[in-house]
Structure 1
């Protein structure tokens, strides 16, 4: 039973990793490819060339992510600063959908590598949700000390939703699962027509939840 439970948990972890990395990246590539095709058909060759360059860069990132998954490694280099990794992720979503994303990472954010990966995966899924559902024009991402731990807030000015309503997607549940497994928690504050605020709370590195 213990072996079966461990195998099931590993399958769930792999499914989350694939969903939060390769699936999201491939979805972005589809959007970029469609945009480049429209621009080429409209004769906007410079814009199409820019979109194709972004496709190439995103595809390279997807290749790196797949190799990291195969090697059971995080898809972020060990020496990467969290702020730089978040900014790169935000830049990719800006390029894909033209969304304004402001990023602010405060000093004193003490997270180990695994916790940083959790935050990055949660942010990737949160931005994908905004892209798919929110119809927002601005997203503000903030990472800062929060009580005894570290908090990441993703705030958008989109259409909002009812957090208590039944959900069919994997997004918010996947974010919650990741945070819980890392000893943290997730808070959702949203009202239809008034945007959304998603907060992921993690304990500081080396501190038990």
Structure 2
């Protein structure tokens, strides 16, 4: 996917640039620490995934990042290896392609833990719009003008859209929430989202 031109209309001032610098430092420290303490969880559920279905433990998929730059997102595999044998599909609620272990790790967001590596690499942030696949990004932008406004900042493991509607909201609703986040960037909002995300992990709300 080529870098979208109209993303440039978001011009951040010096105050926001300082915010982004401190946010990057926070992302690094939190992700390194988070990866260390959750490593046993990754190992245990990696074993469960391997025992339930054949195939790799991790799922790697191309997503669209900040300013239209593509990267490979890393997750624990929650579907069978032939989940997209008929082509790319939008995940649905109670998706039949999801395995038994997959349903649990999606509900608790455990499948997202390996994305700490994406944050450390600089592809993602802890908080930001969820990254979409190139195919869906282009499709949604044709159907919803301005959808690529979401690419003005780094995508996140969690975001304002996820804590206010989960993963089952429509692309239109997602854009509304993500625009709100981009227009109101600050540390208080980020911390609020992280706290809400922890609550979501225990309730399992918004899972697909």
Superposed pair shares fold, TM > 0.5: no
Query: Scaled by the length of structure 1, what TM-score is found?
Result: 0.32
Could you tell me the TM-score, scaled by structure 2's length?
0.32
Give the structure with the larger strand fraction: 1
Question: Which of structures 1 and 2 has the bigger CA Rg?
Answer: 1
Relative contact order, CA 8 A, sep 6+: which one is greater?
Answer: 2
